[in-house]
């Protein structure tokens, strides 16, 4: 390592502040103190001015949650990548103890206790202790927790090597940029595989390197997290097709080709000794008598049979979205104000912004009591007066908790004051299937409900969906005219794309919602669009592809119906 360190980015500094906070928790510091570090990190990330500029201008303390002490730490972390306080804390616990806290059921107290009593300093240590039944014998632990930990370690193992779509994309495009400079004969590097198919979780990076100089192959080697296919331009279509997959899709295509006397390989397409053109995938599908199949649909789920009969639908694209619904602000657990969020949305070219802060039961997320709702509505009215004539509107929404019995979180007269309502489950995940299903059906049967939020509650690679009869819920949404959310947060992407077609068959509209907690989160929309494409969704199926006039009418119609 060289002495001169590049300034650490805001993201890097935020990660280090979070580490300080976590280590303070482990050390038993006041939870208020560690929480300050977490919120400073969050607000630093949400701050619109570049960190280097804020530091240079001495304006760190203008960031909420940053005072004298944390400002000094941010400066040192930014300039050197560390801080004496952090180094001191790092001496108390090995890094592996932080990993323990990622296991559900293990918080800072329990993680610290396990390190101190059993010297558990990694997930491997933890697993060994559980298998040896040592954990259950510890004070404060028991057989149930031990079993739950083993289960979640197994869950992690199943998902080993997988990353969420946003990380997958960053990785693939960064490696592709890096490779491009590697050799002068490289013409292009195209991410394929899971990334190109728009999968919600991605395995190793697949790249197709386009180069016509075959002697240069040796400069590129595949590895465990990296698979490279080298292809000349003339057979790029074939190479891309094979590298994109899935195996199921490709093997069905090959069988189809075989039946037509065509041999299809990653290097070529031939009929007997005749080379057929395959520089694009379109040429290959055409030669096989198929309409072109978009990469997102190539999952071996009947798409080839459908492509024999008709062209694939014009899948939704980013530009089809006209507005944004379901976002948070400082009125609950968001980091930006309502006007910052609305203005950022308008600048992205959208026609409307639907604010949906948490409802009163979500106390942990700063859920709004009725007085706070009134204040937000007054502010929204004021902003809308300012937007008059600018073809932009703020809609007064709310993300209402679905209570245990399926009721929404405000009395009916209050519900009536909102323009629209996203109803979501945030508690009681462990209800049995029948109760959970009945609860959600009850919520979507409420005439005030406009959209069902994150229908299954899954957190990708972190938490399984709650046990619910999705078919029955979608059927109820269809019957009651409730749109089903495709939550575009890359941690969720819920409703799962495998259910999208069924939802449409049952008469549901879909809504692609970013669930943004700051202005940067508005860009989540792109993951939602990719996911919807994977589900075969078209713009006409999506609520927020309606223009401003259209959605005003939709909300108004539902409100009239709710008033009966």
Q: Which residues in this chain contact DNA in the complex, by CB under 7 A? A: 30, 32-33, 35-37, 40, 61, 64-71, 85, 103-111, 136, 139-146, 148, 363-366, 426-430, 463
CA 152, 154, 157, 163: dihedral to nearest 10 degrees? Answer: -40
Query: What stretches of 181-223 show up as alpha helix (H) in DSSP?
Result: 193-196
Q: What's the closest the beta carbon of residue 211 comes to DNA, in angstroms?
A: 47
Helix H or strand E segment including 555: helix 548-563
Dihedral sign computed on CA atoms, order 228, 230, 234, 238: negative
- Judged by phi (left if over 0) then psi (alpha if -120 to 50, else beta), residue 261 lies in left
Q: What's the closest the beta carbon of residue 461 comes to DNA, in angstroms?
A: 13
Compare residues 70 and 239 and give the one whose CB is closer to DNA: 70
Strand 201-202 versus strand 186-191 pairing type: unpaired
Q: How many CA atoms lie within 13 A of 498 on its CB side?
A: 8
Compare residues 151 and 552 and give the one whose CB is closer to DNA: 151
Compare residues 119 and 144 and give the one whose CB is closer to DNA: 144
Q: Which of 459, 463, 462, 505 is nearest to 484 (CA)?
A: 505
CB atoms within 10 A of CB 55: 18
Q: What's the closest the beta carbon of residue 325 comes to DNA, in angstroms?
A: 20
CA 183, 188, 193, 197: dihedral to nearest 10 degrees? Answer: 160
Compare residues 145 and 422 and give the one whose CB is closer to DNA: 145
Compare residues 40 and 408 and give the one whose CB is closer to DNA: 40
Cα three-residue angle 23-29-32, rounded to 5 degrees: 105
Q: What's the closest the beta carbon of residue 147 comes to DNA, in angstroms?
A: 8
Q: What's the closest the beta carbon of residue 32 comes to DNA, in angstroms?
A: 3
Compare residues 13 and 209 and give the one whose CB is closer to DNA: 13
Task: Please provide the distance, in angstroms rounded to a whole number, between the alpha carbons at the two ends of the chain.
Answer: 70
Round to whole Å and give the CA distance between 378 and 382.
Answer: 6
Compare residues 3 and 68 and give the one whose CB is closer to DNA: 68
- Please report the DSSP string for 8-21 in residue order: PPHHHHHHHHHHHH
Helix H or strand E segment including 36: helix 31-46
Round to whole Å and give the CA distance between 229 and 261.
Answer: 26
Q: What's the closest the beta carbon of residue 139 comes to DNA, in angstroms?
A: 5
Q: Which of 540, 542, 541, 508 is nearest to 525 (CA)?
A: 542
Compare residues 116 and 170 and give the one whose CB is closer to DNA: 116
Compare residues 119 and 428 and give the one whose CB is closer to DNA: 428
Compare residues 219 and 438 and give the one whose CB is closer to DNA: 438
> Which tokens hold the place of 374?
């009134």
The separation between CA 54 and the C-alpha centre of its own chain, rounded to angstroms, equals 29
Cα three-residue angle 510-515-519, rounded to 5 degrees: 130
Q: What's the closest the beta carbon of residue 180 comes to DNA, in angstroms?
A: 41
Round to whole Å and give the CA distance between 412 and 417.
Answer: 9
Compare residues 64 and 122 and give the one whose CB is closer to DNA: 64
Considering all CA atoms of the chain, what is the largest pairwise distance in Å, rounded to the nearest integer? 78
Round to whole Å and give the CA distance between 411 and 425.
Answer: 18
Q: What's the closest the beta carbon of residue 101 comes to DNA, in angstroms?
A: 7
Q: What's the closest the beta carbon of residue 394 comes to DNA, in angstroms?
A: 24
Q: What's the closest the beta carbon of residue 144 comes to DNA, in angstroms?
A: 4
Q: What's the closest the beta carbon of residue 452 comes to DNA, in angstroms?
A: 16
Round to whole Å and give the CA distance between 395 and 460.
Answer: 30
Query: Residue 360: phi, psi to the nearest 5?
Result: -60, -30
Round to whole Å and give the CA distance between 360 and 373.
Answer: 9
Round to whole Å and give the CA distance between 79 and 61.
Answer: 17
Q: What's the closest the beta carbon of residue 463 comes to DNA, in angstroms?
A: 6
Compare residues 17 and 202 and give the one whose CB is closer to DNA: 17
Question: Treating both helix axes as pointing N-terminal to C-terminal, what angle do 84-92 and 10-26 enclose, rounded to 10 degrees?
Answer: 40
Q: What's the closest the beta carbon of residue 462 comes to DNA, in angstroms?
A: 8
Q: What's the closest the beta carbon of residue 408 comes to DNA, in angstroms?
A: 16
Query: What stretches of 142-246 show up as alpha helix (H) in DSSP?
Result: 143-158, 165-180, 193-196, 236-244
Compare residues 304 and 365 and give the one whose CB is closer to DNA: 365
């Amino acid at each position: 390592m060289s002495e001169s360190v590049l300034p650490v980015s805001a993201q890097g500094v935020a990660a280090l502040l979070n580490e300080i906070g976590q280590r303070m928790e482990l050390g038993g510091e006041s939870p208020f103190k560690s929480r300050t570090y977490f919120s400073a990190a969050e607000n630093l990330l949400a701050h619109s001015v570049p960190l280097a500029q804020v530091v240079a201008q001495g304006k760190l303390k203008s960031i909420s949650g940053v005072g004298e002490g944390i400002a000094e730490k941010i400066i040192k972390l930014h300039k050197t990548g560390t801080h004496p306080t952090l180094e001191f804390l790092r001496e108390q616990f090995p890094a592996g103890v932080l990993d323990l806290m990622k296991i559900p059921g293990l918080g800072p107290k329990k993680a610290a206790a396990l390190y101190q009593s059993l010297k558990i300093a990694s997930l491997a240590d933890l697993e060994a202790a559980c298998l040896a039944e040592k954990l259950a014998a510890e004070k404060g632990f028991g057989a149930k927790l031990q079993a739950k930990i083993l289960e979640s370690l197994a869950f992690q193992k199943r998902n080993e090597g997988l990353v969420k779509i946003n990380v997958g994309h960053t990785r693939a495009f960064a490696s592709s940029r890096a490779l491009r400079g590697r050799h002068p004969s490289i013409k292009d590097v195209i991410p394929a595989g899971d990334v190109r198919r728009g999968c919600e979780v991605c395995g190793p990076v697949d790249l197709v390197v386009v180069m016509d100089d075959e002697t240069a192959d040796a400069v590129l080697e595949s590895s465990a997290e990296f698979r490279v296919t080298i292809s000349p331009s003339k057979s790029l279509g074939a190479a891309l097709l094979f590298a994109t997959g899935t195996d199921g899709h490709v093997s069905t295509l090959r069988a189809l080709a075989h039946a037509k006397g065509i041999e299809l390989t990653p290097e070529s397409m031939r009929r007997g000794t005749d080379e057929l053109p395959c520089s694009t995938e379109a040429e290959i599908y055409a030669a096989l008598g198929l309409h072109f199949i978009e990469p997102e649909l190539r999952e071996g789920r009947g798409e080839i049979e459908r492509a024999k009969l008709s062209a694939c639908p014009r899948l939704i694209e980013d530009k089809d979205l006209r507005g944004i619904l379901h976002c948070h602000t400082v009125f609950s657990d968001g980091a930006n104000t309502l006007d910052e969020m609305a203005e950022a949305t308008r600048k992205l070219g959208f026609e409307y912004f639907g604010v949906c802060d948490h409802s009163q039961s979500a106390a942990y997320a700063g859920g709004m009591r009725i007085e706070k709702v009134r204040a937000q509505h007054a502010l929204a009215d004021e902003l809308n007066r300012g937007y008059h004539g600018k073809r932009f509107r703020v809609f007064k929404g709310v993300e209402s908790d679905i209570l245990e019995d399926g009721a929404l979180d405000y009395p009916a007269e209050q519900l009536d004051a909102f323009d629209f309502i996203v109803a979501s489950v945030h508690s009681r995940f462990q209800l049995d299937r029948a109760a959970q299903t009945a609860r959600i059906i009850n919520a979507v049967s409420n005439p005030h409900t406009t959209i069902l939020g994150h229908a299954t509650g899954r957190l990708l690679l972190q938490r399984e969906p709650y046990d619910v009869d999705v078919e029955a819920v979608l059927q109820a949404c269809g019957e009651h005219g409730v749109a089903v959310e495709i939550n575009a947060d890359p941690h969720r992407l819920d409703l799962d794309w495998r259910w999208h077609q069924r939802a449409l068959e049952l008469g549901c509209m879909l809504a692609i919602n970013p669930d943004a907690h700051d202005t940067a989160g508005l860009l989540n929309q792109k993951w939602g669009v990719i996911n919807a494409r994977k589900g075969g969704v078209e713009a006409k199926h999506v609520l927020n592809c309606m223009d401003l006039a259209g959605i005003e009418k939709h909300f108004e119609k539902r409100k009239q119906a709710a008033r009966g």
